[in-house]
Amino acid sequence: MIVVALLLTWVLPAGAFDTAPDETGREVVVPGTWQIIDDAPVLSPLAVLTVIPRALADAQAVIFFVLIVGGVLGVVQATGTLDAAVGRMLNRFGDRAGLLIFSVMLVFGVASSTFGMAVEYIALIPILLTLCRGLGLDAMTAVGTVAVGYGVGYGAAAINPFTVLVAQNVAGLQPGSGLALRLAIFLPLLAIGFHHVWRYARRVQADPKASLVYGIAAAEAPAPVDHPAFERRHVIVLLVMLVTLLLLMVGIVFLDWYLVELSALFLGLAFATWLLGGLKGDDAARAFGEGAAAMTMTALLVGFARAIALMLEDGHVLHTIVHGLSLPLSMVGPELAAVGMLGVQSLLNLFIPSGSGQAFVTMPLMAPIGEIVGVSRQVAVLAFQFGDGFMNIMIPTNAILMAMLGIAGIPYDRWLRFIWPLVAKLLLAAALVLVTAVWIGYA
């Protein structure tokens, strides 16, 4: 992609829009002012190499934030709290499959919407597989419950630090702004996901041969998996996480917190989890390192994605691309333009499944395009969220999804048959939300 960006600087005409400060002092493009730059410099092939360290330095605040959050979640995972909490839910609701599926989906959805959890769910797949088999359900139901909660949590995220906060930062928006609408749409979208999974689960309960993985040996019931007992220390860790979540929301909405303050808050969560969660110092440090290491690829993708935009900026073709994309969108009105943005984000997610990385690639384009065609930056961020979150549970380039399918022994083609109707319904609902957001002046 970086090489493609360099080639674009050689092929496309350099150009720029005039910019002017809006009522908040933020520089925005002035529609209709794009013009060619005659004396723009021509980038050398070496720019492919030099732009990467520059981009890593430019995005260092987000990169280190991602690593810190990964480390903190590693410490939480090491306490066994998540495994124990899920096990407690399984024991309590094990004879009521519908309530169990909704409860697990809701918990995972909230965790993804707020803390950005995703990879942590992989370790819980064997537990859910065993339970679903005991209830007469199949592996598809188990993975569907987890994946749909994760996908809706990311798609309708309230304050996900890896997607919403990063995208708003890149778009020049106040972190956490526009929260009310995102909170309002979470449960309706989750209900769409639950209905899809539960309708399938009931068919499998009634007729096991209706399972999409019927006869596939790898997807048969796994050996029983023991989950840790739900102890007092796990309750304490969950309470600490709840307090952290409340502080996170208060800090973002009322105190203008962003990366530095949020990083400090997450580090506080790690220290509290270590002290109250029954971990030894060495174990906590090791868990933090392993959690951060698990986020290394995501962190690097943030830097490499920034390199793409930086290359386009250096070659003065970023505004040229914005101008070209804005022309067809400007002909259809802001409502359909917002839906068009959703389509673009959904397609790009196949190539850039990292939410943070996609935000750095697309928001420098989508934010000014939105201003030109009458779509607010907040709506552009919402379109990014929908395209990233909902497509993540269908695309084969999402490593988290493929790991879940691998553990469950589900072939990708069978998963695609199960999930694509749901993704289509979610994207349709997302399009309706975007049109409504434009109508109500969501900003």
Tens-level pLDDT at each residue, the chain (443 residues): 789 889 999 999 988 877 777 665 666 667 678 788 888 888 889 999 999 999 899 888 878 887 898 898 889 889 988 778 777 776 776 668 888 889 889 989 998 998 888 876 776 777 788 778 767 788 999 999 999 999 999 999 998 988 998 899 888 888 888 999 999 999 999 999 999 999 999 999 889 888 898 877 555 555 455 667 778 888 899 899 889 878 877 887 677 777 788 889 989 999 999 999 889 989 999 999 998 998 787 788 778 877 887 888 888 887 787 777 777 877 888 999 999 999 988 887 876 777 887 787 778 778 888 888 889 999 999 999 999 999 999 988 787 888 788 878 899 999 999 999 999 999 999 999 999 999 999 98
Residue with tokens 């732009």: 51
pLDDT for the residue 299: 81
Tokens encoding 134: 């005991």
Tokens encoding 307: 């390199």
For residues 282 and 278, give the distance between their C-alpha atoms in angstroms, rounded to a whole number: 12
Residue 418 backbone dihedrals phi, psi, to 5 degrees: -75, -40
3-state SS, residue 258: coil
Candidates 385, 381, 308, 304; CA nearest to 346 is 385
3-state SS, residue 301: helix
For residues 103 and 93, give the distance between their C-alpha atoms in angstroms, rounded to a whole number: 9
pLDDT for the residue 184: 96
- Contact criterion met (CB below 8 Å) for 307 and 352: no
For residues 174 and 171, give the distance between their C-alpha atoms in angstroms, rounded to a whole number: 9
Candidates 59, 115, 52; CA nearest to 82 is 115
| Cross-strand partners of 36 | 15
Query: With the C-alpha atoms ordered 147, 405, 75, 60, is the resulting torsion angle positive or negative?
Result: negative
| Residue 218: partners with Cβ closer than 8 Å, 6 or more residues away | 409, 410
pTM: 0.73
pLDDT for the residue 54: 93
pLDDT for the residue 166: 86
